[in-house]
């Protein structure tokens, strides 16, 4: 009988691994709580109505249509039993010979239940759709809101000055400057305040000083109000308060300020390290478990080059999956495992049209060229030719018109809400 490999999670790491071992002698089961792969770097473009959700999401069963040894299961994992080698889900129990945990990360609210309840995260396609509805409904509400409610409606606060926060704030600023005045000619959008809150003294903390400085310059020119060296303390759905005692009235707090590993029930506490990540060795194995691996954002591997673990980036996840795929194939031939070694190819972020920053190992550059590089590389990472074409067409229309046609408010019906409740 072929050995069974279970992969938990169909993000960059899990999907890459499944695709690379699908022609092997393994029997593969890919389990995810969604039936599609999500391209996380472009969630913010769904949230700001630049792209449709289907453009950055791809059905998992479509990927493996011709592969009888790959089984996709739409399920939520409830518990792992590494002694019995079982994965318990709401769709049944699955046995494995090798287990790969690629469950990614989720928003870290740092224990603040109020922020978790009232703020809007952006860690999945459904989150991005919810945020799009919230942003568009916000301006519909502004048309008939009482004067005392206007300030909270017309303030949007983005918490977190990393790439996601910077890109989202820039996209919102472009909506304010180019699109919303045409959609709502009877509204004064000079009153729309877009705030980017960052606990450090600069945006893009993991990039070069030149990129940090340029990103802040871009944002300020676009009208974004930067609140640096500022920490969010609490949020009650109406007012966001900061640790320095100041506050802003807002109905719209978007949370991009931190992530934590999405660790499953059954992982022992001794394997969980800072950031709620799972400690692994240089082969991505869980310590003490020769047949259990973790890859991507959920794992934590210390090396000489990365003493604090690898950055939680798509490129790291993809390369860990490639290395593990080679190792799993090698195990079938009794070969020794290869260590995972990562060379950082660089980082990048976009702020708006012709405004991006790119850091490579040997140089850093910003502006128009950086923006085209950012678009090209992200387009190449999209899974299918159809999705690439959809995104390219939308970007081309937006480039020449400074507009999109995707500002649709699609709220769940009562039947959909009942269906979700039953699934939960």
The answer to whether 315 and 359 are in contact (CB under 8 A) is: no
Q: Which pLDDT value is given to residue 423? A: 63
Instruction: Indicate if 171 and 246 belong to the same structural domain.
Output: yes
Instruction: Indicate if 241 and 388 belong to the same structural domain.
Output: yes
- Domain presence at residue 233: yes
Instruction: Indicate if 95 and 155 belong to the same structural domain.
Output: no
Q: Which pLDDT value is given to residue 269? A: 93
Domain count, the chain: 2
- Domain presence at residue 228: yes
Instruction: Indicate if 126 and 231 belong to the same structural domain.
Output: yes
Instruction: Indicate if 381 and 247 belong to the same structural domain.
Output: yes
Q: Which pLDDT value is given to residue 404? A: 80
Per-residue exposure over 266-299, b if at least 16 CB sit within 10 Å of its own CB, e if not: ebeeebeeebbbbbbeebbbbeebebbbbbbbbb
Instruction: Indicate if 9 and 149 belong to the same structural domain.
Output: no
- Domain presence at residue 175: yes
Q: Which pLDDT value is given to residue 31? A: 97
Q: What is the CATH number of the domain that holds 12?
A: 3.50.50.60
Helices and strands, number each (H, E), in the chain: 13, 25
- Domain presence at residue 346: no
Instruction: Indicate if 135 and 242 belong to the same structural domain.
Output: yes
Q: Which pLDDT value is given to residue 410? A: 82
The answer to whether 61 and 72 are in contact (CB under 8 A) is: yes
Instruction: Indicate if 234 and 265 belong to the same structural domain.
Output: no
Q: Which pLDDT value is given to residue 167? A: 97
Instruction: Indicate if 83 and 161 belong to the same structural domain.
Output: no
- Domain presence at residue 57: no
Q: State which residues form the domain around 358.
A: 113-257+353-401
- Domain presence at residue 406: no
Tokens of 168: 């989202």
d(CA 367, CA 74): 42
Long-range CB pairs of 123-127 (<8 Å, 24+ gap) are: 123/40, 123/43, 123/259, 124/34, 124/38, 124/43, 125/34, 125/36, 125/38, 125/43, 125/46, 125/53, 125/56, 125/57, 127/43
d(CA 308, CA 294): 17
Instruction: Indicate if 171 and 302 belong to the same structural domain.
Output: no
- Domain presence at residue 55: no
d(CA 99, CA 265): 14
Instruction: Indicate if 157 and 242 belong to the same structural domain.
Output: yes
Q: Which pLDDT value is given to residue 407? A: 84
CA atoms within 13 A on the CB side of 289: 26
Q: Which pLDDT value is given to residue 102? A: 97
Q: Chunked in runs of 10, what are the mean pLDDT values of the chain (424 residues)?
A: 95 96 94 95 94 93 87 95 94 96 94 95 94 93 90 96 96 94 91 96 93 96 96 96 95 94 94 95 94 97 93 94 97 94 93 95 94 94 89 92 83 75 66
Tally Cβ neighbours within 10 Å of residue 339: 12
Q: Which pLDDT value is given to residue 424? A: 64
- Domain presence at residue 187: yes
Instruction: Indicate if 103 and 117 belong to the same structural domain.
Output: no
Q: What is the CATH number of the domain that holds 146?
A: 3.50.50.100
- The reported pTM is 0.93
């Amino acid at each position: 009988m072929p050995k069974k490999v279970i992969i938990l999670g169909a993000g960059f790491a899990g999907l890459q691994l499944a695709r690379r071992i699908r022609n092997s002698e393994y029997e593969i089961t890919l389990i995810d709580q969604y039936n599609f792969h999500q391209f996380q770097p472009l969630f913010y473009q769904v949230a700001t109505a630049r792209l449709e959700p289907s453009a950055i999401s791809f059905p998992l069963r479509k990927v493996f249509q011709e592969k009888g040894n790959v089984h996709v299961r739409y399920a939520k994992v409830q518990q792992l039993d590494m002694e019995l080698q079982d994965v318990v889900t709401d769709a049944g129990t699955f046995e494995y010979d090798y287990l790969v945990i690629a469950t990614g990360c989720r928003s870290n609210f740092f224990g603040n239940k109020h922020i978790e309840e009232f703020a809007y995260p952006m860690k999945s396609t459904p989150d991005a759709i919810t945020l799009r509805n919230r942003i568009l409904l916000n301006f519909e509400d502004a048309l008939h809101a009482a004067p005392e409610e206007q300030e909270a409606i017309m303030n949007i606060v983005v918490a977190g000055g990393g790439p996601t926060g910077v890109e989202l704030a820039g996209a919102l600023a472009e909506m304010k400057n180019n699109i919303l005045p045409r959609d709502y000619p009877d509204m004064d959008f000079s009153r729309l305040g877009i705030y980017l809150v960052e606990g450090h003294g600069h945006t893009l903390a993991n990039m070069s000083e030149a990129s940090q400085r340029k990103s802040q310059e871009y944002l300020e020119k676009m009208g974004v109000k930067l609140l640096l060296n500022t920490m969010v303390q609490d949020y009650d759905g109406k007012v966001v308060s900061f640790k320095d005692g100041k506050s802003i009235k807002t109905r719209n707090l978007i949370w991009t300020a931190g992530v934590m590993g999405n660790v499953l029930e059954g992982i022992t506490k001794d394997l969980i390290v800072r950031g709620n990540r799972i400690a692994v060795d240089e082969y991505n194995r869980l310590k003490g478990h020769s047949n259990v691996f973790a890859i991507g954002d959920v794992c934590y591997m210390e090396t000489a080059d990365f003493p604090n673990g690898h950055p939680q980036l798509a490129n790291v996840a993809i390369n860990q999956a490639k290395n593990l795929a080679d190792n799993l194939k090698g195990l079938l031939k009794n070969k020794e495992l290869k260590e995972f070694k990562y060379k950082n190819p660089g980082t990048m972020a976009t702020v708006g049209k012709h405004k991006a920053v790119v850091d490579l190992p040997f140089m850093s550059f910003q502006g128009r060229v950086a923006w085209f590089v950012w678009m090209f590389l992200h387009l190449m990472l999209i899974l299918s030719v159809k999705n690439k074409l959809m995104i390219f067409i939308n970007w081309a229309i937006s480039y020449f018109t400074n507009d999109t046609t995707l500002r649709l408010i699609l709220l769940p019906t009562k039947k959909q809400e009942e269906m979700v409740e039953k699934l939960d």
